[in-house]
């Protein structure tokens, strides 16, 4: 057993999980705000559709929490599994939500400060890896907000989680 660094708690595990899932709940509402057709076809400046961005987020979040818990990493598979169905995309989203809750407690003590190689290619400490997952989702969701505004649709309130 390595000695844990004694330090004040900036954020606890439970709080970090709630923070992540709060962001994911907001992304879910963002997906819901898109008309199905635009979700799978609208984009700006040659970027991906919001469904394609959501497919990336799904590819990261579920396999990511499994990787953090088990240190077994598969290659990223960002293919769109929803195939044009918003209902299917939301179903996949909810499945990942449950998977995160399930695997979160299995993340070993100390993992967030350990070096790991996420998805077999991104070497970083555990906390950087998890924050990257969250930040990447915020980043792409922010882009979805622009798509919605361009479509004349008010996005969900950013501060509600």
Q: Which residues of this chain interact with a second copy, rule CB under 8 A?
A: 4-5, 7-13, 15-16, 19, 23, 44-47, 109-110, 112-113, 127-128, 131-132, 135-136, 138-143, 145-152, 158-159
Tokens, residue 6? 């004694």
CB closer to a second copy out of 23 and 86: 23
Question: Cβ–Cβ contacts within 10 Å for residue 122, how many?
Answer: 13
- Residues 79 and 101: their CA atoms lie apart, in Å, by 23
Q: How far is the CB of 137 from a second copy (least distance, A)?
A: 9
Say if residues 29 and 154 touch (Cβ distance below 8 Å): no
Q: How far is the CB of 76 from a second copy (least distance, A)?
A: 13
Q: How far is the CB of 104 from a second copy (least distance, A)?
A: 12
- Residues 12 and 128: their CA atoms lie apart, in Å, by 15
């Amino acid at each position: 057993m390595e000695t844990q660094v004694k330090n004040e708690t900036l954020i606890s595990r439970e709080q970090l999980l709630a923070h992540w899932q709060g962001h994911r709940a907001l992304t879910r509402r963002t997906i819901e705000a898109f008309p199905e057709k635009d979700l799978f076809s609208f984009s700006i400046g040659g970027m991906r559709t919001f469904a394609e961005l959501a497919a990336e987020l799904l590819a990261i979040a579920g396999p990511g929490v499994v990787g953090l818990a088990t240190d077994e990493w598969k290659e990223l598979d960002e293919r769109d599994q929803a195939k044009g169905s918003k209902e299917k995309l939301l179903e996949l989203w909810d499945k990942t939500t449950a998977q995160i809750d399930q695997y979160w407690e299995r993340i070993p003590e100390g993992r967030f400060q350990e070096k790991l190689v996420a998805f077999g290619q991104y070497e970083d400490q555990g906390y950087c890896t998890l924050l990257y997952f969250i930040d990447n989702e915020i980043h792409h969701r922010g882009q979805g907000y622009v798509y919605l505004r361009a479509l004349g649709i008010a996005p969900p309130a950013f501060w509600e989680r």
